[in-house]
Amino acid sequence: MANTEFLDVPGGQLAYEVVGPVDGPLVIALPGMGDLRQSYRFLAPRLADAGYRVASVDLRGQGESSTGWDSYRPEAVGADVLALIEHLGGPAVLVATSFSPSAAAWAAVQAPAQVAGLVLLSMFTDNPTMNPVMRLVSGQVMSRRALWLMYWKSLFTTVPADFAANRELVERSFGRTGMAAVRAMGDADKTEANASLPRVTVPTLVLYGSKDPDFPDLAAQAKRAQELLPHATVQIVDGVKHYPATEAPDVVAPATLQLLKEAFDA
């Protein structure tokens, strides 16, 4: 992937990198909480080879983006996305994983002229329901780098060949930034941002891994996503867990390219 670039936005600085032709239609890729823009290291080149300009972003407080933000809510991340679209020249299709689909949907409703389509991976349609014990455990995992890295690895069915090198990058990054952003994003209320989902009108693709442990009842989760986004295509990627773009780029890339064609040809 390309060299890091930075964008100043209210409250801090975003790190991102761009691959693909400078005049290609814009795609912005947003990782999940506790992950880095390199989570799209297999998908982004495939989209770039097809002629798209792909900007992969570190969320606020993660990777090479700055720390100390006053908010880590999905709406704040969505505002960052809109600022990056304006900076790079849109409209853009947003590819978002886990925490980020809420931000992407919010941005699509706030600025429909700037967001041409959505690819939503492992999307939470509601705030996770946890009993007090699980909430306590979750808080510890999101607050401690070593625990997070163990949990993060468990979200892959089969780790990629370069997993060790990428894990080291994640470990170093959170050694620099700390875990405050991860904890804040994990605790953030998605209700307001997810209220945007039924108002999304752009072409939308929703993908879930068939073995994703974050969704014990995957059929119910997929049904919920389809109810909130009746015009969307909802698909299950067989044999993977929470990161389909990393585990199954040969499946995710063709589906994404089909969505991109629909979005930019509309």
CATH number of the domain that residue 25 is part of? 3.40.50.1820
Q: Which residue has the higher pLDDT, 145 or 227?
A: 227
Q: What is the pLDDT of residue 44?
A: 97
Percent of the chain with pLDDT over 70: 94
Burial class (CB in 10 A: 0-12, 13-18, 19+), 10: exposed
Q: Give 39-59 pLDDT, tens digit per residue.
A: 999 999 999 999 999 999 999
Confidence of residue 2 (pLDDT cuts 50, 70, 90): low
Q: Give 169-205 pLDDT, tens digit per residue.
A: 999 988 888 888 888 998 888 999 999 999 999 999 9
Q: Give 111-146 pLDDT, tens digit per residue.
A: 999 999 999 999 999 866 655 545 665 667 777 888
Q: SS3 for the chain, per residue? A: CCCCEEEEECCEEEEEEEECCCCCCEEEEECCCCCCHHHHCCHHHHHHHCCCEEEEECCCCCCCCCCCCCCCCHHHHHHHHHHHHHHHCCCEEEEEECCHHHHHHHHHHHCCCCEEEEEEECCCCCCCCCCHHHHHHHHHHHHCHHHHHHHHHHCCCCCCCCHHHHHHHHHHHHHHHCCHHHHHHHHCCCHHHHCCHHHCCCCEEEEEECCCCCCCCHHHHHHHHHHHCCCCEEEEECCCCCCHHHHCHHHHHHHHHHHHHHHHHC
Q: Is 11 left (phi over 0), alpha (psi -120 to 50) or beta?
A: left
> What's the structural domain count of the chain?
1
Q: What is the pLDDT of residue 93?
A: 98
Q: CA torsion angle for 167, 27, 18, 208 (degrees, to 10)?
A: 10
Amino acid making up residue 94: L
Measure the CA–CA gap between 1 and 166, rounded to whole angstroms. 13
User: For 163-174, what is the mean pLDDT?
Assistant: 92
Q: What is the side-by-side strand order in the sheet with 53-57?
A: 5-9, 12-19, 53-57, 26-30, 92-97, 115-121, 204-209, 233-237
Which domain covers residue 219, as residue numbers?
5-265
Q: Give 50-85 pLDDT, tens digit per residue.
A: 999 999 999 999 999 999 999 999 999 999 999 999
Place of tokens 């996305």: 81
Q: What is the pLDDT of residue 133?
A: 46
Please tell me the pTM assigned to this model.
Answer: 0.94
- HSE-up (13 A, CA, CB side) for residue 225: 26
User: For 21-49, what is the mean pLDDT?
Assistant: 97
Distances in Å between the Cα of 203 and the Cα atoms of 78, 102, 165, 229 are: 18, 16, 35, 10
- Mean residue pLDDT across the chain: 92
Distances in Å between the Cα of 81 and the Cα atoms of 118, 133, 139 are: 13, 35, 27
Parallel, antiparallel or unpaired: strands 233-237 and 204-209: parallel
Residue 1 has pLDDT above 60, yes or no: no
